[in-house]
Amino acid sequence: MGSPDDTGGLGRVGQRCLRYPVTCLSWEKLPQLLWRPYEPHPRQTRFADGHEPDPKIGGGTGLAGLIWHSDVEFSLSGTNFYASSFNTEGVRSTPERFYLAKPRRMIEGYVDLIEAHAPQTIVELGIFQGGSTAFLTHLARPEKLVALDLRPTRVEALDLFLEEHDARGSVRAHYGVDQSDTERVRQIVDHEFGQGCQLDLVIDDASHDLEPTRHSFNTLFPRLRPGGLYLIEDWSWGHFRFSRNRSGPSMAKLIMELLLSLPYCEAMIEELTVDRFWAVACRGQMKVDADEFNISECSSDRGRQLLRATDKDRDDSTN
Ligand SMILES: C[S@@+](CC[C@H](N)C(=O)[O-])C[C@H]1O[C@@H](n2cnc3c(N)ncnc32)[C@H](O)[C@@H]1O
């Protein structure tokens, strides 16, 4: 049975449920109709006697306290954020108030993830208005965070924010970089982290297209340390009911490749956690040749048979 709604149904990550419309690609253009009211995170629900929970999350955990002022506004370490998949208010980032293209559910998911894994070396693909980079700067307090975006123009608000927080050395934003450009991405990662450095976390919130996303995975997954995480946001965006007329390459294929690698390449991906909105692959102990690595070749013949549809597949049905 399908979920009662198209965009906001519940998906599970362990104990966590996410509920939000797709965060990527033309979120500004998608009709507001798609928006569903926020459903509280399980730990943010009311108590049995009806009183409201403490709006702080992460406060007692060693993470800087994050305080929600409304379902789309929060502050963290003195910086304000407007957080929504659909920027219906047309908010532009300033050093005091960033636009973060994620819904509250996902932000709470990041708080859980950062709290659990405390990543210190992070690559983020997809800067947009700098909200997620500023958010991660405060939340993770990383030793090094390198963010990349295809757009050539620097995000001034982010530069000023990093200056103000004395983080220009530890948080580095690179613009005009295509996530598909293996050589360039490698060069930046080697330069910023040092050759052979192993990453704790990679977040891909960039093109949300199959080929560039796969290119980045092939480039950066081998750079993770064992136990490091590779997070792909919004893999499912082309499969919501509102996307039913969409055709062409689907990021879901990459997620299936990750899944089918589990039995075939033992200990390459130690664990894969997928919900409707993001997929998190935890790197196993298996050695991987960074120059040769191709996730499309990491499943059995039988697995590949399942994925025989070409990357250029087109579904002619309209359902
Ligand atoms: C969904 S937005 C990122 C949102 C941001 N991470 C946040 O949460 O606020 C996607 C970004 O990816 C960038 N992008 C799109 N295609 C890309 C590519 N091939 N390589 C690198 N960046 C790309 C876009 O320019 C855009 O800024």
Per-residue confidence at 248, pLDDT binned at 50, 70, 90? confident
Alpha-helical regions (H) of 150-209: 156-164, 182-193
Among all chains, which residue has been given the structure tokens 């620097």? 154
Residue among 124, 179, 184, 185 whose CB has most ligand 1 atoms within 8 A, to mutate: 179
Is the model more confident about 134 or about 85?
134
Is the model more confident about 37 or about 120?
120
Q: Which of 10-24, 46-60, 166-180 has the lowest mean pLDDT?
A: 10-24
- Per residue in 250-269, pLDDT (tens digit) is 899 999 999 999 999 999 99
Per-residue confidence at 45, pLDDT binned at 50, 70, 90? very low
Q: If you average pLDDT over every residue of the chain, what do you get?
A: 82
Q: Is 192 exposed, middle or buried (0-12, 13-18, 19+ CB in 10 A)?
A: middle
Task: Give yes or no for residue 21 having a pLDDT over 70.
Answer: no
Element (H, E) at 273: strand 269-274
Q: Would you mind telling me the total number of residues written for the chain in this entry? A: 319
Q: What domains lie within the chain, and their CATH numbers?
A: 103-306 (3.40.50.150)
53: amino acid identity, one letter: P
What is the sign of the dihedral through the CA atoms of 98, 175, 214 and 143?
A: negative
What pLDDT sits at residue 245?
72
- Per residue in 166-202, pLDDT (tens digit) is 999 999 999 999 999 999 999 999 999 999 899 999 9
What pLDDT sits at residue 65?
84
- C-alpha 300 to ligand 1 mean position (Å): 32
Ligand 1 nearest atom to the CA of residue 216, by list position = 20
What pLDDT sits at residue 312?
64
Residue among 27, 91, 128, 235 whose CB has most ligand 1 atoms within 8 A, to mutate: 128
Q: Which of 41-50, 99-108, 247-256 has the lowest mean pLDDT?
A: 41-50
Per-residue confidence at 62, pLDDT binned at 50, 70, 90? very low
Side-by-side strand order, sheet with 66-70:
56-57, 66-70, 73-76, 79-83, 97-100
- C-alpha 208 to ligand 1 mean position (Å): 8
- Per residue in 101-111, pLDDT (tens digit) is 999 999 999 99
Alpha-helical regions (H) of 100-236: 104-117, 131-140, 156-164, 182-193, 210-220
Task: Give yes or no for residue 17 having a pLDDT over 90.
Answer: no
- Rounded Cα distance, 250 and 253, in Å: 6
Ligand 1 nearest atom to the CA of residue 203, by list position = 6
First-to-last alpha carbon distance for the chain, in angstroms, is 16
State pTM to two decimals. 0.83
139: amino acid identity, one letter: L
Is the model more confident about 142 or about 87?
142
Neighbouring residues of 93: CB distance < 8 A, sequence distance ≥ 6: 99, 129, 130, 131, 134, 155, 157, 158
What pLDDT sits at residue 207?
95
- C-alpha 195 to ligand 1 mean position (Å): 25
What pLDDT sits at residue 86?
86
What is the sign of the dihedral through the CA atoms of 292, 314, 235 and 185?
A: positive
- C-alpha 29 to ligand 1 mean position (Å): 16
